[in-house]
Amino acid sequence: MKNLTYILFLILFASCQEEVVLDLGTLEPIPVIEAIWTDNNAMNQVKVTLSKDYYQVGDNEVVDDAIVSITNLGTGAKVNFFYSPATKKYLAQNAIAGKIGQQYELNVKMGEKEFVSQGTILEPPVLDSVVVEFKEERLFREEGYYLTVYGKIPFTEDNNYRIRIIENDTLKNSRFDYLLFDDSFGTSILDNGFELSGFPFKANDKIRLELFRLNQGAFNYLNQLVSLLFNDGGLFSPPPQNPQSNIKLRKGEGMVLGYFMTSPLLSETIQVPEDNP
């Protein structure tokens, strides 16, 4: 491996006029499953697509004929999902939602293949309030309105959280917008206020903040996804690789990508004042 790396280095830097073409090959499309199951029926959905080749442009192919269900492992109650052409996602029949403290199993069948994953909807933390405050421009901070989240994390384990921001009905979903945190620095992050310093807003903006408490597998997946999004492919970057899915193949052969997220949902909507102070 060291000799191969050295040869590639010479080709790229000592022979600038020679074009090097990497044969990435063509692989069979891999199922990509993105499933969200919470105690709020408006959030619950399952999206199933197929991966595409590196050089292929356009959106991933949507799978619209999968058989999707989620089962409560404690009670045995099964929720079937139907495909919605309008959203290109699978939605729970009768708008059924999950229950806090219950363990669930996702089941997705695609032809001869069957995929499963399990997760528990954990107890939510405490969300006391979300305060919006105007702040002047400073070094490394734009002028604008900023949010500070107040609450409490009373748990000693399973402290894996995500905050999502929806600005004027649009989810902030770039690589800079994944707000993930755990208890690496203690559980008092919300006690004295957690300022979302990377999100300046304007007057009249309508903002919805959503707070999730994740199982470890889903949290690890999103952490790895963020690392992949920031990987520039440079000499000093680790080789890019897909995040490790918490979804497993129960029947059939092949791989699977994506994740199953079970979580409680805490939400707060804020209207930014009309004029600057």
What are 133-157's pLDDT values in tens digits?
A: 999 988 888 999 999 999 999 999 9
pLDDT at 34: 97
Q: Please give the helix or strand (H or E) that residue 227 lies within, else none.
A: helix 216-229
Other C-beta atoms lying within 10 Å of the C-beta of residue 196:
17
pLDDT over 80 (residue 1): no
pLDDT at 6: 38
Residue 143 zone, left/alpha/beta (φ > 0; ψ -120 to 50; rest): beta
Q: pLDDT: is 106 or 273 the higher one? A: 106
Q: What is the pLDDT of residue 55?
A: 60
Nearest partner of 46 among 70, 13, 19, 14, judged by Cα: 70
Task: Give the pLDDT band (50/70/90) at residue 235.
Answer: low
Question: What mean pLDDT is predicted for residues 24-48?
Answer: 90
Whether 10 shows a pLDDT value over 60: the answer reads no
Task: Give strand pairing partners of 171.
Answer: 166
Distance between alpha carbon 60 and the CA centroid of its chain, in Å?
17
pLDDT for 274 equals: 83
The answer, yes or no, to whether residue 5 has pLDDT greater than 50, is no
For 93-147, the pLDDT digits (tens) are: 999 999 999 999 999 999 999 999 999 999 999 999 999 999 998 888 899 999 9
Reduce the DSSP state of residue 277 to 3 states and report it: coil
Q: What pLDDT shows up at residue 163?
A: 96
Note whether 46 and 106 are within 8 A (CB).
Answer: yes
Q: pTM of the predicted model, to two decimals?
A: 0.85
Low-confidence winner among 138-152, 226-240, 258-272 (lowest mean pLDDT): 226-240
Encode pLDDT of 186-211 as tens digits.
899 999 999 998 899 999 999 999 99
pLDDT value at 4 more than 50: no
Instruction: Please provide the size of the chain in residues.
Output: 277
Average pLDDT, the chain: 88
Of 200, 167, 165, the C-alpha closest to 179 is 165
Are 74 and 82 in contact, with CB atoms under 8 Å apart? no
Most confident option among 41-55, 101-115, 129-143, 240-254: 101-115
What are the backbone dihedrals phi and psi of residue 226, each rounded to the nearest 5 degrees, phi first? -60, -45
Q: State the pLDDT at residue 176.
A: 82
pLDDT of residue 185: 79
Residue 142, classed as helix, strand or coil, is coil
Query: Can you give the pLDDT at residue 234?
Result: 59
What is the dihedral sign for C-alpha 195, 197, 201, 203? Answer: positive
